Amino acid sequence: MQQPVIAKSQPTVYFDGACPLCVREIRFYRSCRGASDIQWVDVTAVNADAFGSDLTSDQALARFHVRNEQGKLIAGARAFIAIWSWLTNLKWLATLFDNRLGHWLLYLAYRAFFMLRPFIPRRDDPACNDKRCA
């Protein structure tokens, strides 16, 4: 019996467009070689059908997600490794961190970010001025 052929699709990155730090990071990624092959979805600017059946907007805002070429959803620190592997000039980061120690270090950094994230003003927050939130 022959295995079904899985059609490859475009990798997708779901990001929080209201988070200034997230927007800066995505802006950097989009400037890298290979970024044009990735679909970039601002979860604050699309409706629910843009996520697929296995991801809600609340989940996408609560944790960083990407979808690989085979349609598999990847979340958290491992999602960064996936992005780096898709971007030509950042593949070395994917290679460096795609191991047990690397996953652990990224997990710790990602958890630290989430502890600080509530203190980062959102773009729609009056306390968010142009210099801090651009």
124 part of a folded domain: yes
Q: Residue 126 sits in which domain range?
A: 12-133
| 1 token code pair | 């019996």
- Cut 0.85: pTM above it: no
pLDDT in tens, 5-32: 444 589 999 999 988 888 889 999 999 9
Q: What is the tens place of the pLDDT at every residue in 31-83?
A: 999 999 999 999 999 887 788 889 998 898 888 899 999 999 999 889 999 99
DSSP 8-state code for residue 46: S
Is residue 7 included in any domain, yes or no? no
Ordered alpha helix ranges (H), the chain: 20-30, 57-62, 77-86, 91-97, 100-116, 130-133
Best CA proximity match to 75, nearest among 13, 10, 29, 7: 13
Q: For residue 2, is it within any domain?
A: no
Domains of the chain: total: 1
